[in-house]
Amino acid sequence: MPSPSVMPSAITFGEATLTESNLACRFRAADPPITCTTVSSDPRVSGKYTATVHTKTWNADASHEAFVQWGMARLVNTGGAWEGPYSGIFATGRGDIITTWYTGSDGYAGLSYYQTITVSKTGGGWVSVGLIFPGSPPTR
């Protein structure tokens, strides 16, 4: 995982901030939850990530499968916490796409964070792009 010094800078759009992150995760299907260490271009979304895991899988054989996934994710650091529902898909040869709508608490109360996680194209874990913005996640 790259160090924060080589992470691209966060980009601000008025009250919203676009972030990029790297996630180093531990996951075994037989041993949920997922746990990750997240390093981000914005320290508000760096920290310890945990998520429950639920899946529905379809496969031709053990080496060729697709599944949908969902659960609750939580990202915590010394400034506060983010929590929200995630969902995504996985397909052999294509990797993961996971999206999460977070609500901030403690130091991040009044903020939301939308995150999309994908498998790193260069290997070595997952990467994400996200947007921190004021207010609640949309409901419609």
Establish if 89 belongs to a structural domain. Answer: yes
Q: How far is the C-alpha of 88 from the C-alpha of 55, rounded, in Å?
A: 9
> Residue written as tokens 């054989």?
61
Per-residue pLDDT tens digits for 68-123: 999 999 999 999 999 999 999 999 888 889 999 999 999 999 999 999 999 877 76
Contact between 72 and 49 (Cβ < 8 Å): no
Q: How confident is the model at residue 4 (pLDDT cuts 50, 70, 90)?
A: very low
Residues 6+ apart with CB under 8 A from 123: none
Establish if 140 belongs to a structural domain. Answer: no
Q: How far is the C-alpha of 116 from the C-alpha of 96, rounded, in Å?
A: 10
Establish if 137 belongs to a structural domain. Answer: no
Q: Give residue 46's region: left, alpha or beta (phi > 0; psi -120 to 50).
A: beta
Give the amino acid at 15. E
Contact between 69 and 89 (Cβ < 8 Å): yes
CATH number of the domain at 109, please. 2.40.350
Give me the number of domains the chain comprises. Answer: 1
Establish if 106 belongs to a structural domain. Answer: yes
Residues 6+ apart with CB under 8 A from 94: none
Per-residue pLDDT tens digits for 122-140: 766 789 999 999 999 988 7
Establish if 52 belongs to a structural domain. Answer: yes
Domain holding 108, by residue range, is: 4-132
75 DSSP 8-state letter: E
Establish if 86 belongs to a structural domain. Answer: yes
> What pTM value is reported for the model?
0.88
Establish if 138 belongs to a structural domain. Answer: no
Establish if 70 belongs to a structural domain. Answer: yes
